[in-house]
A = this chain, B = another copy of it.
Amino acid sequence: MIGLHAIASYVPEGSISNYDRREQFGLTDEFIAAKLGVSKVSRMGAQEDTAALCVEAFRRLQRKRPVPAGEVDCLVVCTQNPDGHGIPHTSAVVHGEIGASERCAAFDVSLGCSGYVYGLSIALAFMQANGLRQGLLFTADPYSKIVDPDDKNTALLFGDAATVTLLRPDGPWLAREFLFGTRGKEGAALNNRAGRLEMNGRAVFNFSATAVPGQVAQLLERAGVAAGDVDLFLFHQGSRYIVDTLARRLALPAAKVPCNLAEQGNTVSSSIPLLFERYIDDPAVRRVLMSGFGVGLSWASCLLER
Q: A residues engaging B (CB < 8 A)? A: 75, 80-82, 84-97, 100, 102-112, 118, 121-122, 124-126, 128-130, 146, 178, 180-188, 190-193, 195, 197, 211, 295-298, 300
| Given contact pairs A92-B298, A104-B180, A104-B182, a sample of 16 additional A-B residue pairs in the complex whose CB atoms are under 8 Å apart | A84-B191, A85-B195, A87-B146, A87-B192, A88-B184, A92-B182, A92-B297, A96-B184, A100-B184, A105-B300, A106-B180, A106-B182, A107-B118, A107-B298, A108-B109, A129-B178
Q: Compute how far the CA of A41 lies from the CA of B82 in the bound complex, rounded to whole angstroms.
A: 28
Beyond A106-B296, A122-B126, is A112–B87 a contact (Cβ under 8 Å)? yes
CB neighbours of A186 from chain B (8 A):
96
Known: A118-B107, A295-B88. A102 touches B182 (CB 8 A): yes
Cβ-defined partner of A128 (8 Å) among B75, B80, B89, B129: B129
* Also in contact, A178 and B130, with CB within 8 A (given A84-B193, A107-B111, A296-B106): yes
> Copies per complex?
2
Q: Is the pair A96, B180 in contact by a Cβ cutoff of 8 Å?
A: no
Given contacts A92-B297, A125-B129, A129-B125, contact A85 B184 (CB under 8 A): no
- Is A183 a contact partner of B102 (Cβ separation < 8 A)? yes
Name the distance in Å between A136's Cβ and chain B's nearest Cβ. Answer: 12
Interface centre among A84, A90, A110 (most CB of B within 10 A): A110
With contact pairs A75-B182, A96-B185 given, residues A192 and B295 touching in the complex (Cβ less than 8 Å)? no
